[in-house]
A and B are shown apart, each in its own frame.
Chain A
Amino acid sequence: MTTDNQHDLITDICTRYGNDKGRMLDILTAVQERLRCIDETSMHTIADTIGCSRIEVEGVVTFYSFFSVERKGDITIRLCDDIVDRFAGMKEISMIFEEELGIKLGQTSDDGRFSIDHAACIGMCDQAPAALINDVVITSLTPESARDIAQKLKTGTPPQELLNSVGDGNNAHELIRAMVNNNIRRFGEVLFDDANTGKGLKQALHQSPQDIIEQVIESGLRGCGGAGFPTGRKWSMAANTPATERYVICNADEGEPGTFKDRVLLTERAELVIEGMTIAARAIASTQGIIYLRGEYAYLKPYLEACLQSQRDSNFLGKNIGNVDGFDFDIRIQLGAGAYICGEESSLISSCEGLRGEPKNRPPYPVEKGYLDCPTLVNNVETFACIARIIERGAQWFNSIGTDDSSGTKLISISGDCDRPGVYELPYGTTVHELLKLAGAEQAAAVQVGGPSGQMIDPTAYGRKICFEDLPTGGAIIVFGSHRNILEIVEYYLDFFISESCGYCTPCRVGNVFLKERIGKIRKGFAELMDLDYLRELSNTVIQTSRCGLGQTSPKPVISSMDNFPLVYSALLKEHPDGMRASFDIQKTLEESRHLAKRRSHIFDTSYDN
Chain B
Amino acid sequence: MTTETTITFTIDGQTIEGRAGQSIMDAADQAGIYIPRLCDVEGLHPQGSCRVCTVKANGRSTASCTQPIEEGLEVENETRELRNYRRDLVRMLFHEGNHLCPICEASGNCELQAMAYRLGITQASKFPYLQPVRPLDASHPDIALDTNRCIRCGRCIRASKDIDGKHVFGYVGRGIEKQVGVNGSKLSKTNVSIEDYAISPDVCPVGCIIRKGEGFKTPIGARKYDQSIIGTDKKQPGN
Contact = CB atoms under 8 A, between A and B. Distances in A.
Nearest to A503: B178
Nearest to B168: A55
B147 to A, nearest CB: 14
A552 to B, nearest CB: 10
Contact of B170 (A59, A498, A509): A59
Interface in A500-516: 500-507, 509-511, 513-514
Interface in B175-189: 175-178, 181-185
Given A501-B175, A503-B174, A547-B51, A509 B152 contact: yes
Contacts of A40: 185
With most chain A CB atoms within 10 A of its CB, the pick from B127, B173, B175 is B175
A538 B89 CA distance: 10
Question: Which range contains the number of B residues in contact with the other chain?
Answer: 35 or more
Contacts of B128: 514, 517
B55 to A, nearest CB: 10
Interface string A43-59: 00000000001111011
Contact of B183 (A53, A504, A538): A53
B144 interface: no
Given A507-B92, A517-B128, A55 B181 contact: yes
Contacts of B169: 55
B63 interface: yes
B171 A356 contact: yes
A509 B176 contact: yes
A501 B95 contact: no
A502 B174 contact: yes
Interface string A524-538: 000000010010011
A607 interface: no
Contacts of B95: 510, 514
With most chain A CB atoms within 10 A of its CB, the pick from B46, B48, B52 is B48
Question: Which range contains the number of A residues in contact with the other chain?
Answer: 35 or more
B173 A507 contact: no
A361 to B, nearest CB: 4
B89 A541 contact: yes
A572 B69 CA distance: 48
A151 interface: no
B93 interface: yes
B167 A511 contact: no
B176 A501 contact: yes
Contacts of B203: none
B85 interface: yes
B50 interface: yes
A54 B48 contact: no
B8 interface: no
Contact of A505 (B48, B88, B126, B130): B48
A197 interface: no
Interface in B96-113: 96
A509 B182 CA distance: 21
B93 A510 contact: yes
B225 to A, nearest CB: 20
A506 B178 contact: no
A498 B48 contact: no
Nearest to B151: A506
Given A498-B175, A510-B95, A546-B51, A55 B182 contact: yes
B77 interface: no
B176 A58 contact: no
Contacts of B121: none
Given A363-B68, A505-B49, A506-B50, A541 B85 contact: yes
Contacts of B47: 361
With most chain A CB atoms within 10 A of its CB, the pick from B48, B84, B170 is B170
A334 to B, nearest CB: 19
B183 A55 contact: yes
A56 B175 contact: no
Nearest to B173: A62
B176 A503 contact: yes
Contacts of A55: 167-170, 172, 181-183
Contacts of B177: 503
A547 B53 CA distance: 12
Contacts of B52: 506
B66 interface: yes
Nearest to A44: B184
Interface string A520-561: 000000000001001001100100111100000000000000
Interface string B149-172: 000100000000000000111111
A183 interface: no
A505 B50 contact: yes
A55 B189 CA distance: 12
A541 B175 contact: no
B96 A510 contact: yes
A545 B61 contact: yes
Contacts of A547: 48-49, 51, 63
Nearest to A531: B126
B167 A56 contact: yes
Contacts of A501: 174-176
Contacts of A62: 172-174
Contacts of B88: 507, 511, 537-538, 541, 545
Given A63-B174, A510-B95, A545-B85, 10 more contacts: A55-B169, A503-B177, A506-B51, A506-B93, A506-B96, A509-B176, A517-B128, A544-B85, A547-B49, A547-B51
Across the A-B interface, give the 8 residue pairs with the lowest CB-CB distance, nearest first: A503-B178, A55-B170, A53-B167, A55-B183, A510-B92, A541-B88, A361-B66, A501-B175
Interface of A: 40, 53-56, 58-59, 62-63, 339, 356, 361, 363, 498-507, 509-511, 513-514, 517, 531, 534, 537-538, 541, 544-547
